[in-house]
Amino acid sequence: MARKNCCFPAGFPSFSLTLALIFFLSVNPLRYCSAGGHDYRDALRKSILFFEGQRSGKLPPDQRIKWRKDSALHDGASAGVDLTGGYYDAGDNVKFVFPMAFTTTLLSWSIIDFKRNIGSELGNAVKAVKWATDFLLKATAKEGVIYVQVGDAFSDHSCWERPEDMDTLRTVYKIDQNHPGSDVAGEIAAALAAASIVFRSLDSSYSSLLLDRAVKVFEFANRHRGAYSSSLHSAVCPFYCDFDGYQDELLWGAAWLHKATRRRQYREYIVKNEVILRAGDTINEFGWDNKHAGINVLISKEVLMGRAPDLKSFQVNADAFICSILPGISHPQVQYSPGGLIVKPGVCNMQHVTSLSFLLLAYSNYLSHANHAVPCGSMSATPALLKHIAKRQVDYILGDNPQRMSYMVGYGPRYPLRIHHRGSSLPSVAAHPARIGCKGGSNYFFSPNPNPNRLIGAVVGGPNITDSFPDARPFFQESEPTTYVNAPLVGLLAYFSAHP
């Protein structure tokens, strides 16, 4: 099937002329456009496959990434609970529940909004969600206690070893009424509520279990308020400190519970707490630490559908978010590289690229259904323009960039070969049955050789503001993949596979 031109979307001339020119002058994709376009369906399949490489615990018979084996089979034993399963969040072997829960929420949102575009990969996408939710149910099974981390990060980061060989401390960390963590608990509630929607038509009893648990976890988060990085500072900082406070996760959890239950109490909670919990703060941020932009986009769907006029302020915030990240409109927190990539301060820039692009795409769909455009001063941002910007980011990831390199492992003719990932960079158990100790992996870490195991579908942290990329393990900010980079990308790739 012939592919559409990847550089200009259908309907390009209908954009606001001024805004389109600003976009074209600031981000010129013609220089890097792939002649044949991209195989978004192949990229979608690989982006979902990646999650199997991140699995912890007893692997199932249908495991497709064969170089991975069972690992961390005694997680939770020191606390007398079963905390096996779940995901390693990135290239290390710690299970951080805060980013794992956010990953689950975004995977679920990808399925909820783009289910009909996922096609034959729907089953694998649902399995990716369930691998996380099964773990989250274990982590929240004990009344009044939520387990939020397995593994001592400092011990883990002093070693370079396969998850199958792990002998670092598997310390279990928890929150309770005396050591609150409304941020991580609120995110878990959001994840369980979002996943309950995914399973509603597939497994009603499992869906009900997820939703019932989401309600209880949210009640805990709201009743015992506080940041988990205050209660567990020495364990979770500087790795997954909540720098933006717990307030956004409470609104985020309530928004997903309202979407899943339609109960008036959650809508009233949102209205009552909009100002108190600072819904309008830092609207140009969205990720595991900051949910503000996501909250406003998610709730705005109700407003744009004409079902929630009392929540109009969230749409105003969502519109402001859109205007704040458009190319050519000056904003100190959002920049674009010369090659056109969204760049924000901090590590693992690609997490911002995929999460913000997901919101652009989701909001563009909501706007389309309402026949609405976003006013940005004297200009107008149409749904078509938002889709084009999101697609430009996806195409950059897949190879339309100054390096002419795909930043997804296994996609395209050229991609990162030395990613910062323990399991990928060390010989597999099948190739090297003998144990590789804590310091025994150092030679592999510093080796210039490509990783022996390809983590298909992994999207790395990506290039910097100058579009340069060092394909080397020690440069972890650029070369490390994470689950929360891939989760929103699933929705993006699903949509563009159906609308290339």
Half-sphere exposure of 151 (CA within 13 A, CB side): 28
Angle between helices 204-223 and 122-139 (to 10 degrees): 40
Largest Cα–Cα separation, the chain:
66
User: Any catalytic annotation for residue 471?
Assistant: yes
User: Any catalytic annotation for residue 165?
Assistant: no
The closest of 240, 73, 221, 55 to 130, measured between CA atoms, is 55
| Amino acid, single-letter form, for residue 240 | Y
User: Any catalytic annotation for residue 480?
Assistant: yes
Q: Rounded CA gap, 17 and 380, in Å?
A: 9
The closest of 336, 377, 324, 331 to 464, measured between CA atoms, is 336
CB neighbours of residue 203 within 10 Å: 14
Pairing of strands 342-343, 95-96: unpaired
The closest of 407, 320, 301, 413 to 363, measured between CA atoms, is 301
In the three-class reduction of DSSP (H, G, I as helix; E, B as strand; rest coil), residue 441 is classed as coil
Q: Which of 258, 352, 388, 420 is catalytic?
A: 420
Q: Rounded CA gap, 165 and 375, in Å?
A: 55
In contact, 58 and 419? CB cutoff 8 Å: no
Q: What is the CA radius of gyration of the chain?
A: 22
Q: Rounded CA gap, 470 and 232, in Å?
A: 34
In contact, 108 and 99? CB cutoff 8 Å: no
Structure token digits, residue 110: 């990808």
Q: Which of 161, 242, 302, 480 is catalytic?
A: 480
Residues noted as catalytic: 420, 471, 480
